[in-house]
Amino acid sequence: MMKAINIPFLFVSIVLASSCNNEEADKGEAAGGQSYTCPMHPQIVQNEPGTCPICGMDLVPTEKNNEEASLRLSERQRLLANVTTDTVRTGAFSSIRQLNGRLAINPEQIEYVSSRVPGRIEDLYVREAGVPVRKGQVLYRIYSEQLAALQQEYLVATAQAEQFPNDSRFQQIAEAAKQRLMLYDQKETQLLELRNSRKTSPYVNYASPVSGVVAELFVTQGQYVSEGGSIMRIEGYQSVWVEVDVYPTEAGLIKKGQVVQVTVAGYENEQQKMRIDFLAPALQPGSQLLTIRGKIQNPNNRYRPGMQVFVEVPVSTTSEALTLPVDAVIRDGEGTHVWLETKPNIFEARTVKTGTENFSRVEITEGLQAGDVAVITGAYLLYSEFVLKKGKTPAGEHNH
């Protein structure tokens, strides 16, 4: 999580110097041994104006002969540079490992619609994939002579049962005929209507058992299907799987039942908690990766299978740690340091050692103590201004 020092030094110097009234003094210094450096390559130092041999930029005056290890800013300079500070304190800190993953369809929400009776698809009300359907919506109408025969059998059996109410055998036959029709997905209301009308019909409507999206159609209108033949596949998206590929060395960080944070790409402000439900016991074929999986809710069906996700796995937790925001810690070729406000508007660099870190904060193991006032925004601007004025990097300067 290291950040490269790539702030345009010349722009920073102009911002910090915009409120200074020392231009005349600077001109006097130029005539008396002033040094010049490149805003982008501070290792280039000359005793006279010129251009950088590396990038061709004009060299700017420095204060290399100034041995003070601190920077002094006016209130206006501080405001323009957006330099803010905070008191260093201890607290609980968790380091996090970020893993990349993807969304996948939850198989628990896949429903295969099949024909309960053999016959011909008389009407197909959904004729293309991608169409949303709701539970109870009629999907197709089928013509089945076998169904008509079963209806006729049921009418005869119920008529006999009504004629001989005390004969248990006729009651059992009527009940058996009813059960056969119910196996063909005939509802109680349909059977009651059949008994009242006494008219059989070879046509029957079949409704969707779930709400979702038609993902695949297996038939066309007018096609004959057998009993149990596939009609369509419906997918629900109320929840989705999160699949993450990890190396075996990382698998030790994750345990089944562990709760992690999940962020879907494009919805960074909507983190969700997820419980790890599955850890693959074997590597994926042809790779050195293991798969871990969990499930998250999908409000308003906004997440789509295949979208990228980021999974944050806690690695370790420290109860008493000194931490700073990531942007407060400066890393360059000379080491790692932070800026402290030692007196009002006077800033000094302090070399530090860092420990674990997450996406927002860094643990400081050496170099700071509770109560120090550290710069949390504008640290890179201070670094740039120091290089321009002093002709050297601040890391290691005047540290304790």
Which tokens sit at 40? 């982008």
Distance from the first to the final alpha carbon of the chain: 26
pLDDT at 259 over 70: yes
User: What is the mean predicted confidence (pLDDT) over 74-84?
Assistant: 88
- Rounded to whole angstroms, how far apart are CA atoms 128 and 256? 40
Query: Half-sphere exposure of 309 toward its Cβ, with a 13 Å CA cutoff?
Result: 31
pLDDT at 297 over 50: yes
Between 189 and 307, residue with greater pLDDT? 307
Q: In total, how many domains does the chain have?
A: 1
The pLDDT assigned to 45 comes to 78
39 in a structural domain = no
261 in a structural domain = yes
- Rounded to whole angstroms, how far apart are CA atoms 317 and 253? 13
The pLDDT assigned to 67 comes to 59
CB-based contacts of 68, cutoff 8 Å, min separation 6: none
- Rounded to whole angstroms, how far apart are CA atoms 235 and 242? 16
pLDDT at 41 over 50: yes
pLDDT in tens, 126-161: 999 999 999 999 999 999 888 888 999 999 999 998
In which band, very low, low, confident or very high, does the pLDDT at 39 lie, cut at 50, 70 and 90? low
Candidates 169, 202, 198, 196; CA nearest to 184 is: 202
89 in a structural domain = no
137 in a structural domain = no
pLDDT at 42 over 80: no
Candidates 210, 228, 229, 212; CA nearest to 220 is: 229
The pLDDT assigned to 19 comes to 43
pLDDT in tens, 365-397: 899 999 999 999 999 888 888 877 776 777 654
Which tokens sit at 158? 């119920």
Mean pLDDT of the chain: 83
The pLDDT assigned to 35 comes to 75
Burial code (b: 16+ CB inside 10 Å, e: under 16) for 89-106 equals eeeebebbbebebbbebb
Task: Note the pTM of the prediction, 2 decimals.
Answer: 0.55
CA–CA distance from 224 to each of 150, 228, 251 (Å)? 19, 12, 51
CA–CA distance from 174 to each of 152, 159, 160, 200, 203 (Å)? 12, 8, 8, 16, 22
The DSSP output letter for 281 is S
Candidates 367, 369, 342, 341; CA nearest to 354 is: 367
* Structural domain of 277: 96-107+237-315
303 in a structural domain = yes
Helices (H) and strands (E) in the chain, counts: 8, 25
299 in a structural domain = yes
pLDDT at 220 over 80: yes
pLDDT at 82 over 70: yes
Q: The domain spanning residue 246 has which CATH number?
A: 2.40.30.170
- Rounded to whole angstroms, how far apart are CA atoms 88 and 186? 72
The pLDDT assigned to 66 comes to 56
The pLDDT assigned to 216 comes to 94
67 in a structural domain = no
49 in a structural domain = no
pLDDT at 175 over 60: yes
The pLDDT assigned to 205 comes to 86
Candidates 38, 130, 70; CA nearest to 391 is: 38
Handedness of CA 170, 176, 181, 187 (dihedral sign): positive
pLDDT in tens, 230-258: 999 999 999 999 999 988 887 887 888 98
In which band, very low, low, confident or very high, does the pLDDT at 7 lie, cut at 50, 70 and 90? very low
The pLDDT assigned to 240 comes to 94
